A and B are shown apart, each in its own frame.
With several copies, the nearest count.
Chain A
Amino acid sequence: MKKQRTAKNIFVNGAISPEKIAQSIANHASKTDIGGHSIFLGQVRADMKEEGMVKAIEYTAYEDMALQQAFEIREAIFAKYPLTCMHIYHSLGEVKVGEICLFVFTSSKHRKAAMEACEELVERIKKELPIWGKEIIDNENSAWKVNT
C-alpha cells in the first residue's frame, strides 16, 4: 500500500537557526539507506536599494494556500525522483540580514536524485508559493522584494 502523505507545516517563525538544520541532519542518521543529502539555504542579503540598505526581510504568506501548494509540489517531486526524504522550511516574520529564511533538504540513495530534486524544489518554491518578502531598509523605508 502506498504511504499516504498529508500536508505538513513548512512555516517557521523568524530565522531558521543552524541548530535546527543540524538537528534535521542528525535525524537522518538512522536512515541507513540514504547515501546523499542535498541542502539549499536561502540567506537574506544586505542589498543596496534606491531606498537604502536592506537590513531585514519581513515575510508574509497566504498560509493555507501555500501549504496546499507545497503539498502538491512535494507529491510531484516524490513521484519524479527516487527520494527517501524531503523537507521544506520557510520563514515568516522578520529575518535579519545574514540569517537563513529558506531550508530545503532532500535525501536519496544515490546523490543525483537528491541534487536534482533539491534544485527543482527551490525553483518551484520561489515561483509557486504565495509568500511575500518586504525588504526593511535601515532608514525605516521598505520595498517589496521581487523574485527574478
Chain B
Amino acid sequence: MKILAFGKIAEIVGNEVLIVDNFPNTEILRGYLYHQYPALEHMKFTIAVDKKLTSGESHIPMDVEVALLPPFSGG
C-alpha cells in the first residue's frame, strides 16, 4: 500500500511517499511506523484513510489512500 507523508513526518521518514505491505488497521500501521522510524513515537500525528481523519483503531480498506498528518498549521 501507498502511504503519503506530510510536513515534519515527511522529513522524519525521508520521503513523501512510502510503499509498504498492506496493513489491516491504523493501529498495526502505527506499530510498524514506530518500529521503522522511532522518532515518530515522540510525535503527534493523525492517520487519514481515504482522505478522512481517523482516531483509535480504524479499518484500512484495500486500495485506499493512507496519509500521515502532523498537527495542521495553515493560515
Contacts and interface: CB of A to CB of B under 8 A. Distances in A.
Do A and B associate with each other? yes
Q: Which of B7, B48, B74 has the most CB of A within 10 A?
A: B74
A125 B48 contact: no
Interface residues of B, number: 15
B56 interface: no
B36 interface: no
Contact of A102 (B71, B72, B74): B74
Contacts, number: 66
Interface string A109-136: 0000000000000100111111111100
Q: Is the interface of A mostly helix, strand, loop or mixed?
A: mixed
B74 A147 contact: yes
B75 A130 contact: no
Nearest to B68: A62
Contacts of B67: 62, 65, 130
A59 B71 contact: no
Given A62-B4, A132-B7, A90 B74 contact: yes
A27 B16 CA distance: 38
B6 interface: yes
Interface of B: 4, 6-8, 48, 51, 65, 67, 69-75
